[in-house]
Structure 1
Amino acid sequence: MLERRRVVKGVVKDAAKGVWQSPELIPFDAWTTAQWTAAILSGKTAPRLILTAGQDVLYWERALEQSPIAQTLMSPAAAAAQAQQGYQLLKQGLVDVDQHAFEFNSAVDSRAFYDWIKHYEALLEGSEHIALVDAQSQLLSLDNAHSDADRPVVMVGFQSPTPLQQAIVEHYAGSNNIESILLSVGCKSIQFNGCNDFDQEVKAAAYWSKQ
């Protein structure tokens, strides 16, 4: 749930005035999208539009249509969504798919997934679009290292950042300029109370949840 995690920049205290500069709070995906846009405007990468999740899954559906087993799929749309999720997990883990071609080709299911990935990448390569996770991966190869080195970066709510997330933040801010704030979640105590009329209680709960 990357959209709920924040990158906070610019937390700087003015010692003379005894005040804090207001930090810039940015969702991680929005921050990396801004870095991608800046890279395009500075000519460091080709202008390609980042796809929304819905647009991206349409490319996956087209990729699956080119697969030899496309006609055997009971739900191509569901398979496309699963392929999209699997691809994102690989990218977030900094897994080079081509370096593991042998492993992918060792079983029928993984071979089909690898085939879908190659069709998907070919479709995007010939377009003006790019998946968000691919744009984030490409940021690591751009000459933007330490562009925020003079401003501390605080990662809020990243209980376990992915290797890609950690690498991007270090690439832009430097490994010595990053702090983390972990958010406590969960309920300390749970109490169950019986209901005189279970159906009425469920209806009431549903009603109040909509308010």
Structure 2
Amino acid sequence: MTTVKAPIPATPAVDLSAGQPLPEWFGAAFGTLAAEHDRVRRVYADAAAAHRAIANDRARQAAIQADRDAHADAIRAGKPDPGPVALGKWQADEETARRAAQGAADALRAVWTDVVTRTADNAVMGELAAALDADETAARARLAELLEELPRVLAALDTTAHRQAWLSQARRFARDRVIEREPGLTVALRWPSSMTGSTAMPLAILGGSAPVDHVVHALAHYRGEG
């Protein structure tokens, strides 16, 4: 009877930093090395997934059970023990998958080492710095455009809040003073000077926009922009 229980080795792992995708802005300065890192990283991810699909207790137990069933069938048929065929195949498949994952992990660590080492090159660092400066300039220009638009957007929200408050007030007035009273009295009724209920207070009132200015000022100074 087959009772061998092979240990399940862990899938070879890589350092967290090496296993992460490189930032997009690395592409220009690192060129083919960045592309190689991305390719090898995906190779490792696929190899590790393939190894995990094999190296698990369910797959091992299924192989063991298959060997036990084959042994039992052989005894019933008067044949010799076929041996741990299924378990042997599982072990061979696991070894092949683990070797593939280990090789990919080693390759990924090597590529990552090259990536880190290349940052010592002044030319590479110059390209990265130029790319970052360009991105920052573009982002600040976009921020300036949005800051110009923001007061108009907030003013539109204020206007909407005023309209909603007016409609709500008008509806209460109509229901309380017109619809529920004698029709003949409506001509004597006027819009009340004060009305109970909440009224949305806008950010800008009669042309004043101090709260809006505070918001825009704070956003303009984000990350040191003045």
Same fold (TM over 0.5): no
More strand by share: 1
More helix by share: 2
Bigger Rg, which one? 2
TM-score range, shorter chain: under 0.3
Tell me the TM-score normalised to structure 1 length. Answer: 0.22
